């Protein structure tokens, strides 16, 4: 066990990492879309979100997006290009939400916040059709989407038409050094990074096997019949690929897998880092097509 596994050290490094990540600039927005800054109440306090309105006069469906960042960093603005793409091509309102970051707030706070955002988005009081609700996220956001979808399934709502899980970490029990990438040490996700992120998010290793933290670990994904339909997207060179494939297979057994799509020649975060030219556009088109089919758009 390295020194990075000690919570005080992991917390310190996680905070430093978050400050560096906060300097990252969003990708070229691409599509002119009307946006609106709002605040959404949750059981753990209000969260900030940006609404992206589709260019349509009909009552649209709604998609809730959660950003990545290893549970310790990131901001909704980094998914700006994706959200604009989905609002334009899927013709949905996108709720691009923030959530509490570790180590200031730890598991299960962000999962529960995202579930609360879904409940808020499903309300009849909104200007969209909350009965046509989807959720998705990239990296840690994808894991939170999976957890929130499970909470929705277990608690009786809200009803989700689709969950989009884009290169998500779904097994926090298995050590990152035991997860394979064809790129080896050159992979985007280095074992030391996961050690910091996982420790800051869930310091107690015995809790990392919780079904909302590690949906793909052990028997957590058994018996999921009735959970929201899912689009699972993995990257061929990603160290986290195998666990997402495991989850996709369990969803398939449960009758809830719509599609598993593997982005060839791509590593973790390829769409944000620009390391697989053209792949981001194709994947965003794929997600938009699935959202249209799921919501009847």
Region of poorest pLDDT, from 81-95, 202-216, 274-288: 274-288
Query: Has residue 19 got a pLDDT over 80?
Result: yes
Query: Has residue 234 got a pLDDT over 80?
Result: yes
Q: What is the mean pLDDT of the chain?
A: 94
What would the pLDDT profile of 172-198 be if each residue is shown by its tens digit? 999 999 999 999 999 999 999 999 999
Q: Which residues, including other chains, have CB under 8 Å from residue 171's CB and lie 6 or more apart? A: 214, 216, 217, 243, 246
What would the pLDDT profile of 93-134 be if each residue is shown by its tens digit? 999 999 999 999 999 999 999 999 999 999 999 999 999 999
| pLDDT at residue 277 in the model | 76
Q: What average pLDDT does this structure show over 222-233?
A: 98
Q: What average pLDDT does this structure show over 211-219?
A: 98
The radius of gyration computed from the CA coordinates of the chain, to the nearest angstrom, equals 18
What would the pLDDT profile of 143-175 be if each residue is shown by its tens digit? 999 999 999 999 999 999 999 999 999 999 999
CA distances (Å), origin 69, targets 81, 141, 194: 16, 8, 11
What would the pLDDT profile of 27-69 be if each residue is shown by its tens digit? 666 778 999 999 999 999 999 999 999 987 789 999 999 999 9
What would the pLDDT profile of 114-124 be if each residue is shown by its tens digit? 999 999 999 99
Query: Has residue 211 got a pLDDT over 80?
Result: yes
| pLDDT at residue 26 in the model | 67
Cα 116 to chain centroid, rounded? 15
| pLDDT at residue 1 in the model | 61
Name beta bridge partners: 39: 48
Query: Has residue 21 got a pLDDT over 90?
Result: no
Residues of the chain with pLDDT > 70, as a percent, come to 98
Is the separation of the CB atoms in 238 and 266 below 8 Å? yes
Q: Which long-range contacts (CB under 8 A, 24 or more apart) does 31-37 make?
A: 31/84, 31/85, 31/87, 31/88, 33/83, 33/84, 33/87, 33/88
Report the candidate in 172, 173, 167 with the shortest Cα–Cα distance to residue 237.
167
Confidence of residue 23 (pLDDT cuts 50, 70, 90): confident
**66 sits in which H/E element:** strand 61-66
| pLDDT at residue 57 in the model | 72
Query: Has residue 261 got a pLDDT over 80?
Result: yes
| pLDDT at residue 113 in the model | 98
Residue with token string 């699935």:
290
Helix (H, G, I), strand (E, B) or coil at 227: coil
Report the candidate in 63, 72, 129, 134 with the shortest Cα–Cα distance to residue 100.
72
| pLDDT at residue 20 in the model | 78
């Amino acid at each position: 066990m390295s020194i990075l596994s000690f919570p005080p050290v992991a917390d310190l490094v996680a905070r430093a990492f978050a400050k560096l990540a906060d300097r990252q600039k969003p990708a070229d927005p691409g599509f002119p879309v009307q946006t609106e800054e709002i605040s959404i109440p949750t059981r753990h306090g209000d969260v900030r979100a940006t609404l992206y309105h589709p260019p349509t006069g009909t009552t649209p469906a709604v998609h809730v997006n959660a950003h990545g960042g290893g549970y310790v960093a990131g901001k909704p603005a980094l998914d700006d290009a994706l959200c604009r793409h989905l609002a334009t091509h899927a013709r949905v309102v996108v709720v691009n939400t923030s959530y509490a970051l570790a180590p200031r707030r730890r598991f299960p706070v962000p999962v529960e916040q995202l579930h609360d955002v879904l409940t808020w988005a499903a309300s009849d009081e909104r200007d969209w059709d909350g009965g046509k609700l989807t959720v998705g996220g990239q990296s840690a956001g994808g894991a939170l989407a999976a957890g929130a979808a499970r909470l929705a399934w277990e608690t009786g709502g809200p009803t989700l038409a689709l969950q989009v899980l884009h290169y998500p970490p779904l097994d926090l029990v298995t050590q990152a050094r035991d997860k394979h990438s064809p790129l080896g040490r050159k992979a985007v996700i280095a074992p030391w990074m996961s050690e910091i992120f996982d420790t800051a998010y869930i310091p107690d290793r015995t809790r990392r096997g919780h079904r909302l933290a590690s949906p793909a670990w052990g028997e957590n994904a058994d018996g999921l019949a009735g959970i929201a339909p899912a689009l699972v997207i993995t990257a061929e060179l990603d160290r986290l690929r195998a666990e997402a494939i495991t989850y996709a297979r369990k969803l398939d057994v449960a009758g809830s897998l719509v599609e598993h799509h593997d982005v060839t020649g791509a590593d973790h975060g390829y769409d944000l880092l620009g390391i697989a030219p053209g792949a981001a556009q194709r994947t965003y088109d794929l997600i938009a097509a699935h959202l249209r089919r799921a919501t009847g758009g």
